[in-house]
Structure 1
Amino acid sequence: MTDDVLVVGAGPTGLTLAIELARRGVGVRIVDAAPAPHRESRGKGLQPRTLEVLEDVGVTERVLAAGTTRLPFRKYFDGAHVKDTDPSADAVPTPGAPYERGVLIGQWQVEQILRERLAEFGVGVEPGREVTGFEQDADGVTAVLADGERVRAGCLVGCDGGRSRVRGALGVRFDGTTEPEQSMVVGDVEAEGIGRDAWHQWFTSDGGGVMLCPMPGTDSFQFQAGPELDADGEPLPPSLESFQRIFDRHARVPGVTLTNPTWLSVWRVNVRMVDRMRVGRVLLAGDAAHVHPIAGGLGMNTGIQDAYNLGWKLALAATGQAGPGLLDTYEEERLPVAAWTLGISTDLYARVLEAVKEPGTGVEAAAPPPMGTGYPWSSLAGVADPSGGSVGDPAVLRPGDRAPDAPCLDASGHPVRLFQVYADPRFTLLGFGAEVADAVGKLAAEHDGLLQGFTVDDGASDSLADLHDHEGHARRVYGVTAPAPALVLVRPDNHVALITRDPAEVTAYLARIVTFTPKE
């Protein structure tokens, strides 16, 4: 039997991809080398754009219930309390961006939530199943597991982390640098005598520091600090005893005892990325494709967004609805994002190192810019207005941009958000204005299974539109000037594909997707 897709690695990236495929009816098998799920905090933050992605996946409410969005940073310098800060204190939700804050949550908790969601589609992770090699041909990929089983699939996606065996077997370059002299010890411990109402950050005038971050839903703190060194200047192996010595030296808080270590690790600065994310029927995502400094919490977020970009494309290709050229747009769109992430996170790490040298400063200086703002360079970004008229305001929104949210009312007058409308795995066509209403219905009928269509009015009480933009937010965030009509085509991963008033342009765009060939 041949599965449509074999996903290798059951971290946040692999799990998100498996869900995206399963909810589109694609036969997916997901294997992981680990014999059981870990319970390590690792990457511990999800950014607002990732929360939008996970809402579409169907798990944001669970994530918010398990994590916390409000945890102040409590700064100390040479043992004295300096201040409490909240770097997101001024952030407020807007109709177009409902998540103004990220969420603090352990990576193991994110993975558990994603596993539960995947199980709702009848798919389970196969633990202790390591892929040791594979070979591909014109019709598929044959992977070999450590126990000798041979697995046949249409495509294989390596989501197996920074030491990816899939990447190694694929033979792509993994360019960049490793800085062994820049390292950190990190782990999960309990701490008696420290409050759990803040992320504690102790810095000293000699440039040292230690941080304890309470992990929601647990009794543990994530411990971060520079390592102890041996006589040759090499990091000593992490241990509870060394964590206690580091804490006592930098925090200078008597009577605090670290106990019950469940994870102890050494992390080294590693800045690398592949030169290709696809070779034939084998693709790479997440840390298998790019690794970078820990600052900014970009790793888990970037991997989830890789999977979100790839999922709908791989589903269309695997089910024969799109040519293999559609998969090339995954690399086209995500490889520049990986390069941006490497540059941003490396810069953030350098800023953290500088920030800890000054009293009253610290890791909030490393707050990253927004991720997931779009792919305006992509060949999937259609023209904004082929007729030359004023359809959408390019200062507000362009093809390739992230599609904003907006509150509306459905045909029955009940509140509905555009993000809820976009949760359908198909393309979505919004038709603003009565002049394009017939075209929306016709296009949806002609492309059943690929497209859903909604007419949008300005909130008139006698309108028969599918969505009522009763407060004008949808027109505003999509740059539509009333009463001019407009058609906005939104991709399955909630990015704007096309803004036009000509229904023929929508037909042409979808025809190019179904039999995909790159745009000239």
Structure 2
Amino acid sequence: MDTEILIIGAGPTGLTLAVDLARRGVAHRIVDRDPGDFAGSRGKGIQPRTLEVFADLGVIDAAQEHGGPYPPMRGYQDGQVVWERTLAPTVDPRPDVPYPNPLMLPQWRTAEILRDRLVELGGRVEPGVEFQGFTQDDDAVTAMLDGKPVRARYLVGADGGRSGVRKAAGVDFAGETLEQHRLLIADVKIDGLDRDHWHIWTTTEGPVLALCPLAGTDTFQLTTTRDDEVDLSELVRSVSGFTLTDVGWSSQWRANVRMVDRYRVGRVFLAGDAAHVHTPAGGQGLNTGVQDAYNLGWKLANGSEELLDSYEDERLPIAADVLGISTELFNRGVERRDDAMDRSDPALRQLGLHYRDSKLSVDTRAVAGSLRAGDRAPDGLAGTRRIHEALQGPQFTVLTFGTADYPGGVAVTDAPAYDIEDAYVVVRPDGYIGMIAADAADVRQYLGRW
């Protein structure tokens, strides 16, 4: 065996998985066909649930240092400011939600932060490596990389919407491409334009040009509905009156809405855009991919067939739901409804996503409360520590409430989001509640099973 886990694709999804495996001491390789690091802003919104994942992986400080809040939006028509609004209201942290607001962080920076963390943990990305297919047997997967066989216990395709791993596995990518809906996206520098607003120029037919200042940089993310043959310098000058001084990364975007019907084929797993692609509305795609990886990492490290099967069972319905949310928001934007830009819906922040129907979610209480097995574990106080601080790391954690006591357990002292008395809460390594029980024997049995 050359390695335990082979990851194809070093975007945020693959890097999240590599970081999680590295901190567990699981042998892995992560390769990417691109010879250099991705340089574009692309997915720039990090949702609150993903920020909690980043806190656990040890990169929250770097994310907050380099990222920032979304600026207020300012709309122009015929050279005049015609409206101003915020993308979503800024809210204060709560006892149960430490990071309630999305963070703007260009995708290239997110990847850079995760790569740096991987290096700290003793890992590294192998760039410029081409995946050329695989075979598998009962014991392992044999992947071809640059014409050479590499044997791994498991293979993970995190190689984007055009995934070679997905195609080699024979998994359909059902959905549609809306050819009529296209955007040109680019990272640009603009002389003299203020960085305190997200500037949007429209006509009676709809948006023409948007320039969003990217937090932690001196660049703007430009989006336009004009085709890819447009002269960006002339477009910016004629529409906004400002001067474009530099164009970095650029990409033609089409409205793709697709997902797989399987996340697993034997020893091969799909994650991120390899399994689902979204419209950009609501900032869901990158975040869903990161959380795919966060769900998969501890299960690969364990190796239990039941746990590995639960990856698809848990993540496929989540992807379908999130895909529906982003598509609805995109359609609202196309129709230019008044609520088209409303991003205050808690569903977008991904804090309410749950695995209540998972076979890993067990509640042995006589009467269930509002907080259920399968829900995200809320924050709160455990003596002098935050609950989320106690959860950090690759382990299961037992929280105890009231008179309940458990060896190595964490006694919760003040956590209003937990409507639990004299009971035990077992939190999985990915921060979701696996069990709520009134009897310590049930806890021992659950932990012994995994």
Q: TM range, normalised to the smaller chain?
A: over 0.9
1:248 shift after superposition: 4.5
Give the gaps of 5 or more residues in structure 1.
229-235, 318-322, 410-414, 445-452, 457-468, 514-520
1:423-451 C-alpha deviation (Å, 9 max, x unpaired): 121100012233x32xx11xx5xxxxxxx
Amino acid at match of 1:425: P
Contact 1:9 1:33 in 2 (8 A): yes
Map of 1:293 onto structure 2: 279
Contact 2:282 2:343 in 1 (8 A): no
Write the mapping of 1:6-85 to structure 2, written as runs, cut at 5 A. Answer: 6-85=6-85
The yes-or-no answer on 1:505 pairing with 2:445 is no
1:372 shift after superposition: 4.5
Map of 1:394 onto structure 2: 369
Contact 1:136 1:142 in 2 (8 A): yes
1:394 shift after superposition: 1.9
Distance in 2 (alpha carbons) for counterparts of 1:27 and 1:78: 59
Q: CA RMSD in A?
A: 1.8
Contact 2:30 2:125 in 1 (8 A): yes
Decide whether aligned partners of structure 1 residues 6 and 203 sit closer, same or farther in structure 2, where only a CA change above 3 A counts: same
Decide whether aligned partners of structure 1 residues 186 and 211 sit closer, same or farther in structure 2, where only a CA change above 3 A counts: same
Partner SS state of residue 258, structure 1:
strand
Q: Larger radius of gyration, structure 1 or 2?
A: 1
The yes-or-no answer on 1:152 pairing with 2:151 is yes
1:362 shift after superposition: 5.9
Distance in 2 (alpha carbons) for counterparts of 1:293 and 1:489: 36
1:2 shift after superposition: 2.2
Write the mapping of 1:168-207 to structure 2, written as runs, cut at 5 A. Answer: 168-207=167-206
1:156-183 C-alpha deviation (Å, 9 max, x unpaired): 1000000000000000111111111211
Map of 1:479 onto structure 2: 419
Distance in 2 (alpha carbons) for counterparts of 1:207 and 1:70: 22
Identity level (%): 47
Map of 2:395 onto structure 1: 426
1:258 shift after superposition: 1.2
1:90 shift after superposition: 4.8
Distance in 1 (alpha carbons) for counterparts of 2:439 and 2:183: 56
Map of 1:381 onto structure 2: 361
Distance in 2 (alpha carbons) for counterparts of 1:224 and 1:384: 52
Amino acid at match of 2:233: Q
Map of 2:349 onto structure 1: 370
Write the mapping of 1:319-334 to structure 2, written as runs, cut at 5 A. Answer: 323-334=304-315
Distance in 2 (alpha carbons) for counterparts of 1:302 and 1:226: 26
1:83 shift after superposition: 3.5
1:51-92 C-alpha deviation (Å, 9 max, x unpaired): 011111111111011010252112223331133322433522
* Residues matched between the structures, number: 448
Amino acid at match of 1:424: G
Decide whether aligned partners of structure 1 residues 307 and 217 sit closer, same or farther in structure 2, where only a CA change above 3 A counts: same
* 1:338 counterpart (315, 319, 327): 319
Distance in 1 (alpha carbons) for counterparts of 2:94 and 2:77: 36
1:244 shift after superposition: 3.1
What TM-score do you get using the length of structure 1 for normalisation?
0.83
Contact 1:349 1:366 in 2 (8 A): no
Amino acid at match of 1:376: R
Distance in 2 (alpha carbons) for counterparts of 1:495 and 1:38: 31
Distance in 2 (alpha carbons) for counterparts of 1:155 and 1:263: 33
Give the gaps of 5 or more residues in structure 2.
none
Contact 1:4 1:153 in 2 (8 A): yes
1:241-272 C-alpha deviation (Å, 9 max, x unpaired): 2x2343345x4x32x11121111211001111
